[in-house]
């Protein structure tokens, strides 16, 4: 990482993973297939945003609004959302510095609670319910449901694909 920082972020960072090299290689291979089928549509959308009146800034203002809420307010909303779904006792909510997204869901190990991480800082108010629908209503509930399925921990044995591709698409629709 020293070379990455010393190069003023021009040299690609080199990471050392805590998993065996063959497991890391397989994970990258399994998750690195890029589909370009929708690239023309994505370009059309991006061009439309760039050329809309006021440009990207006006679009973002319209899309996300100017009103913000604190990470503590989002935490409280997530807690209420968990209660509505009767899973509050299975989840810990943390406010975390330096996140790249507003929130995410993880389960550190089979014997631990799920964790909903929330980015420390201000978050656009119009999207906070969508964050709950996306992270809790899709990712968390799918993860919890998966633990009750015969294939849990044995997806390869049942020739099941990685659920993340389909799930992320569904989570986006559920946002």
Spans of all domains in the chain: 15-64, 67-175
CA-closest candidate to residue 174, choices 109, 144, 143, 129: 129
Distance CA 21, CA 166 (A): 27
- Looking at the whole model, is its pTM more than 0.75? no
Task: Retrieve residue 82's tokens.
Answer: 């968990």
Tell me what pLDDT residue 76 has: 98
Q: Indicate the helix (H) or strand (E) that contains 118.
A: strand 114-119
Backbone angles phi, psi at 96, to 5 degrees: -125, 135
Task: Retrieve residue 27's tokens.
Answer: 């994970």
Say which CATH topology domain 67-175 has.
Zincin-like (3.30.2010)
Lowest mean pLDDT among 3-7, 27-31, 32-36: 3-7
pLDDT in tens, 87-133: 999 999 999 998 989 999 999 998 999 999 999 999 999 899 999 99
């Amino acid at each position: 990482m020293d070379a990455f920082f010393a190069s003023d972020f021009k040299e690609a960072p080199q990471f050392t993973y805590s998993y065996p090299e063959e497991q890391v290689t397989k994970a990258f291979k399994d998750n690195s297939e890029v589909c370009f089928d929708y690239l023309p549509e994505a370009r059309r959308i991006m061009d439309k945003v760039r050329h809309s009146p006021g440009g990207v800034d006006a679009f973002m203002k319209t899309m996300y609004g100017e009103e913000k809420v604190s990470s503590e307010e989002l935490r409280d909303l997530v807690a209420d959302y968990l209660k509505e779904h009767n899973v509050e006792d299975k989840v810990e909510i943390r406010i975390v510095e330096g996140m790249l997204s507003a929130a995410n869901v993880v389960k550190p190990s089979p014997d631990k609670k799920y964790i909903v991480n929330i980015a420390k800082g201000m978050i656009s108010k119009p999207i906070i319910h969508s964050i709950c629908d996306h992270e809790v209503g899709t990712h968390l509930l799918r993860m919890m449901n998966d633990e009750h399925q015969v294939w849990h921990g044995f997806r390869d044995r049942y020739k099941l694909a990685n659920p993340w591709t389909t799930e992320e698409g569904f989570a986006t629709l559920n946002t």
